[in-house]
Amino acid sequence: MTNSNKTSRSNKHNRIIDAAVDVIAEKGYHLSRISDIAKRAQVADGTIYLYFKSKEAILLAIFEEKMGLLISEVNAALLEESDPCSRLKEFIRQHFIHVEAYPALARVLQVELRQSRQFIREYRPEKLWDYLRIVGDIIQQGQQEGVFRADLDPFILQWSLFGTLDELSVQWILSKKRERFNLEQVVHQVSAVFLSGLVKP
Amino acid sequence: MTNSNKTSRSNKHNRIIDAAVDVIAEKGYHLSRISDIAKRAQVADGTIYLYFKSKEAILLAIFEEKMGLLISEVNAALLEESDPCSRLKEFIRQHFIHVEAYPALARVLQVELRQSRQFIREYRPEKLWDYLRIVGDIIQQGQQEGVFRADLDPFILQWSLFGTLDELSVQWILSKKRERFNLEQVVHQVSAVFLSGLVKP
Amino acid sequence: MTNSNKTSRSNKHNRIIDAAVDVIAEKGYHLSRISDIAKRAQVADGTIYLYFKSKEAILLAIFEEKMGLLISEVNAALLEESDPCSRLKEFIRQHFIHVEAYPALARVLQVELRQSRQFIREYRPEKLWDYLRIVGDIIQQGQQEGVFRADLDPFILQWSLFGTLDELSVQWILSKKRERFNLEQVVHQVSAVFLSGLVKP
Amino acid sequence: MTNSNKTSRSNKHNRIIDAAVDVIAEKGYHLSRISDIAKRAQVADGTIYLYFKSKEAILLAIFEEKMGLLISEVNAALLEESDPCSRLKEFIRQHFIHVEAYPALARVLQVELRQSRQFIREYRPEKLWDYLRIVGDIIQQGQQEGVFRADLDPFILQWSLFGTLDELSVQWILSKKRERFNLEQVVHQVSAVFLSGLVKP
DNA sequence: CATGAATGAGGCTTCATTCAT
DNA sequence: AATGAATGAAGCCTCATTCAT
């Protein structure tokens, strides 16, 4: 998911993106300096501006590109499942699988972008909506199939689940003793609670 | 909860805190200028430094003071309830009541402080743990009373609920058309899902 | 020499002057804050401005008043001596006696005022010239009496001696192990060198 | 001695140092603004910080570099002389030659650094000791060769001479009508006094 | 395309001075 | 006269961005 796109994206573009993810994950967007990112990417400061219009553009690019990759991978995994319960559980699992594989990226996508969402006025985080829509669609599907309770609002539920995943991911990333925080167990418990809450009694 | 403390805290101290909450909620901590806060508090820039050692100290003071008030108010409200289900629902309701009453403060406590948590690693946010512990205690109480499932980890569950409340709060705050987002309904739905998930089948 | 003038000078005026001497001796003029001086003088910051027009005025007052006292005390002591050699040696002794008695004052008069002399354009350090003139007069007296060499320029010599006294004073003040720097011995050696240089072969 | 180093020192480094010498000589360290120095060096304010870590670092660099050059030039000149009297006189001459050639630098080295000595307590000014040691060594050499009186303390004498040179230099620099103050004559008179004082009767 | 030295706008903070009490 | 809270001008320094090579 990191450097693996063999598309037209130049090698240096990706090196900068990946360096930025690492640096921003560590120090936060505002405390990350362009020169830090350049050093980590092993390019000159000025080179960054050949690939990105501004510091903010890097953050947005991280969001667009990485979130895009995440969405397609999650969607691919969901093709395997058909019933709403399995699909929801698989979505939860996929979320944490990616957090575990790319914790720095998860940190940036969840913390920095949350913080930035409201300050970047002109920016519409379409990819975030795409991601959320996966959950919303599963819930609607379940309701249509009569498996999930009809009185729950998919719009609220999708944010609720997203908040849960988000918070647990951040805590897991920050957590020093991650054994306390076995991700497989987290997947299990979150699935249990949300599915109990969703399925018809 | 904002200006209502009848303690010895000077009037100006509170004016600065409240101004900072507003400004930071609007622009984010890093983009908030001391001069912005001073202007909103109607004091000179230098006056801020008679009350706070640094810009960061303001953020910490907001956390300490406002979170402390929140916790005591929530605890007071919980005294009315005794059974775990009612208590959990009341906690959820209280959370959103405060969000609705002080959206700017909620924004700062939830987004800015989370974002800062990295450079507040040394400053352990005790008050945050106090708040979370309220949830954890309710869950444990429910488990001991045999009302809640015993196989769920209170530690994971408290973060899960916290993430849900957090995310929905932020969405509500950011949301332009808040009618879509009736808070009373949110309380109801979140309670429904988590209680279904928690209580023994 | 410090608080001993029972003139019309108010008590607080002197307390401020003395506090300023201590503080400036310790931190230097530019790093001394008015609030430091006020604290040491046990008055409020604003009170200082009832007695002095500005921070700079305090420095000038120190110079004027303390240098005036020094000059009159040195002159008084010199009344005892009549021949140029004894008078010069007594002058040297007096200088170091005062340095030893009031090291903080010596520090201010020698270091801070030297530094300030050129930046305070409108200020004429008359008192400094008065002090130097004592030396100049002794030398001229010696030359007129035929005791001192006539080819030496009193103007140059007075600065030379002043520089010697100044530097040795500062070194003595800064010196941690002052035993290395017995002032009586310094008086003796400086007198020996300058008198050997001055008296006719 | 100013711009003449053909070493690897970048051109801009030297331009800043030289500009700083001029500005600080004129206004004093504390009243010199980084922007003043930058303007005189014809660089942007920020450029200063590519070459020096802080304002104080500039002062220290001036001391280190310029004093180093001074010492080596003085030492080179002293190679010509062998007997203590000639060497001492040559040292005195060299001091004033440099003062005349680089009055701004002399001002900074003598007044500003003396004034800073307090907050440079931790930074032991080795170079100053090196310079003084030249005098001390000459005196000891003279004593060992039986030319100078043995009862004089080289430690005291070196400070005495240094104070004389220092003070006369400053006076010459500050003096408006420098004709009054012919440096060659100063060299002559100072040499006369100190040599008379030093050589055995 | 790549570099990295240079720029300069702007922020946090200090502190001499004022003034209402 | 005395206080000390308040002021606000101004300085050091950082860092995103540019541009000559």
Specify the pLDDT at position C69: 95
- Is residue A56 within a helix (H) or strand (E), and if so which, with residue range? helix A55-61
Does the C-beta of A55 come within 7 A of strand F? Answer: yes
Radius of gyration, alpha carbons of chain C: 18
Q: What is the mean pLDDT of residues C11-16?
A: 95
pLDDT digit string, tens, across residues A72-123: 999 999 999 999 999 999 999 999 999 999 999 999 998 887 777 666 656 7
Give C51 CA → E20 C1' in Å.
20
pLDDT band at B125 (very low <50, low <70, confident <90, very high): confident
- Name all chains with 3 or more CB-CB pairs below 8 Å to chain A: B
Do residue B197 and residue A201 have CB atoms under 8 angstroms apart? no
Could you tell me the two tokens for B171? 């969405």
Q: What is the mean pLDDT of residues D142-159?
A: 94
Four-CA torsion A36, A37, A39, A45, nearest 10 degrees:
-100
pLDDT digit string, tens, across residues C87-103: 999 999 999 999 999 99
Q: Say if residues B61 and B145 touch (Cβ distance below 8 Å).
A: no
Nearest-Cα distance to chain D for C6, in Å, is 33
Q: Can you tell me the distance from the alpha carbon of C22 to that of C16, in angstroms, rounded to the nearest whole number?
A: 10
pLDDT at B181 over 60: yes
Instruction: Tell me which residue in B162, B181, B196 faces A167 most closely, judged by beta carbons.
Output: B162
C199: helix, coil or strand?
A: strand
pLDDT at A8 over 80: no
Show Cβ contacts of residue B52 under 8 Å, excluding neighbours closer than 6 positions: B16, B58, B61
Q: Which residues of A touch B96 (CB under 8 A)?
A: none
pLDDT band at C174 (very low <50, low <70, confident <90, very high): confident
Q: Tokens 């913390």 identify what position?
A: A111
| pLDDT cut 70: percent of chain A above it | 90
Does the C-beta of B50 come within 7 A of strand F? Answer: yes
| pLDDT cut 70: percent of chain C above it | 90
pLDDT at A50 over 60: yes
Could you tell me the two tokens for C102? 């009031």
Give the closest residue to C92 by CA, choosing from C186, C198, C181, C199. C186
Find the angle CA(D153)-CA(D158)-CA(D159) to the nearest 5 degrees.
105
- Name all chains with 3 or more CB-CB pairs below 8 Å to chain D: C
Does the C-beta of A46 come within 7 A of strand F? Answer: yes
Give the closest residue to A98 by CA, choosing from A160, A21, A20. A21
Q: How far is CA B122 from CA A23, A178, B125, C83, in A?
A: 20, 19, 9, 74
Specify the pLDDT at position A189: 95
Interchain CB contacts (distance < 8 Å): A and B: 119
pLDDT band at D6 (very low <50, low <70, confident <90, very high): very low
Instruction: Tell me which residue in A155, A170, A189 faces B153 most closely, judged by beta carbons.
Output: A189
Q: Which residues of C touch D148 (CB under 8 A)?
A: none
Mutual angle of helices A183-198 and A154-174, in 10-degree steps: 160
pLDDT at B68 over 90: yes
Pick from B56, B196, B200 the residue to mutate for testing the A interface (most A CBs within 10 Å). Answer: B196
Find the angle CA(C72)-CA(C78)-CA(C80) to the nearest 5 degrees.
125
pLDDT at C6 over 60: no
Q: Say if residues C48 and C16 touch (Cβ distance below 8 Å).
A: yes
Q: Say if residues D58 and D45 touch (Cβ distance below 8 Å).
A: no
Specify the pLDDT at position C187: 96
For the entire predicted model, the pTM comes to: 0.89
Q: Can you tell me the distance from the alpha carbon of B164 to that of B152, in angstroms, rounded to the nearest whole number?
A: 17
Partners of residue B148 on adjacent β-strands: B199
Specify the pLDDT at position B3: 42
Which carries the bigger pLDDT value, residue D199 or residue C89? C89
Does the C-beta of D158 come within 7 A of strand F? Answer: no
Q: How far is CA D172 from CA C122, D63, D132, D155, in A?
A: 19, 21, 21, 26
